Amino acid sequence: MQPTDQIPFPLAKTRTHEVCGAGSHVFAFALAARLGQHVMWLRESWDQQQINPIGFAEFIEPADLTLCKTEHQLETLAAAEEALRSGAVALVVMTLSKPIGLTEGRRLQLAAREGKSTGLTIIPEGHGSNAAETRWRCTPVFDADTTAADSTLQRWELIKNKSGTLGVWHVRWNVASRRLVMVPPSRE
């Protein structure tokens, strides 16, 4: 464990955050599990990659997730803003394919503050917006000497933080207790 350098998770509420990398979905669902309430998941309709309810059932109940299909990114942002502002959902996750400007990012922040909800954008690497509160890079790590095949090792890297320090953590999702377990990184 890292007593001095605690992981800032769950993320600061009433803010929007960003995540990139192959482990983004795990990050998003782990956050949804921590926040506990309803999740709104927005994606563009052309996106072939689909989240699988049987796969994420080990994080949250599939009934607690509402899916939104939008036509293009502008619609995603508008719908996300509406959902954040309403305060009806605890977490709004959106997949973005193009970088967003400062104005759009700022609007999302304001909406999250007004609705007291959390926003999370899944972005391609290097497409971050300056308005985001934190930015994470999540990558799965191959764990050679594990015997527990059901839990997965992830490397979560905090690469941007407006109100704190950066850091790297190795975490594992424990399916039975539905919580994150921190793993010392020295094993690398």
- Give contact residues for another protein (rule: CB under 8 A): 22, 25-26, 29, 37-38, 40, 45, 48-59, 61-71, 75, 78-79, 82-83, 86-89, 139-142, 144, 149-150, 152, 155, 173
Q: How far apart are CA 117 and CA 12, in angstroms?
A: 10
CB of 141 to another protein, least distance (A): 5
User: 75 is written with which tokens?
Assistant: 């619609």
CB of 119 to another protein, least distance (A): 14
Question: What three-state secondary structure class fits 185?
Answer: helix
CA distances from 80 to 84, 108, 120, 143 (A): 6, 8, 10, 36
Residue whose CB is less far from another protein, 50 or 186 = 50
Residue whose CB is less far from another protein, 135 or 170 = 170
Q: How far apart are CA 65 and CA 155, in angstroms?
A: 26
What type of residue is 163? Answer: S
CA 83 from centroid of its chain's CA atoms: 16
Residue whose CB is less far from another protein, 147 or 163 = 147
CB of 166 to another protein, least distance (A): 21
Residue whose CB is less far from another protein, 57 or 166 = 57
CB of 162 to another protein, least distance (A): 28
CB of 86 to another protein, least distance (A): 4
User: 177 is written with which tokens?
Assistant: 């207790």
Residue whose CB is less far from another protein, 1 or 144 = 144
CA 65 from centroid of its chain's CA atoms: 14
